[in-house]
Chains A and B, each alone.
Chain A
């Protein structure tokens, strides 16, 4: 059974600091997604990583993918309060039906304090 594990599950940090969220998955996949979710809201796509060594950056967030290690990271640079949210990584699984269904991690709740 495919497992996707994130750590930490909760992160409280000061504004201006840097930190990294880790996402490990247990089977081969070349599609890794990062989503943001605000309380009571749906999922907002942040990054789609499609190949080994892929790195994408948007503002203070940077995501990378190492398919050999089955590891993705989401790095936060100089955090600001607006980044407070829950972040999910997800791995696409195709199987015999070629579904591309997403298997999500547990989520990392980020709280940025002034």
Chain B
């Protein structure tokens, strides 16, 4: 059971906008910034969003992050087939003194 809760799956058709949620508590998302990672099949994770809504250089602006209270979301607009991957949220937990991850969301592009 992961400390951060994500839906196990999500899907969309090319061009659509999809969102992936990540729910936590006051000891992590509620008071600490959230990061998002993309893991393409058979590859290492890649940083997509840090500090809730900041994109590293090289990440397309189709990817955007937001946070409200103890929940956060990753939105992907203009969905492309190459976006098919697992997506993970992560935050520092001040009570556990541990980095915690969501269980991951498998995104399928139909």
Partners in one complex: no
- A-side interface residues toward B, CB under 8 Å? none
- B-side interface residues toward A, CB under 8 Å? none
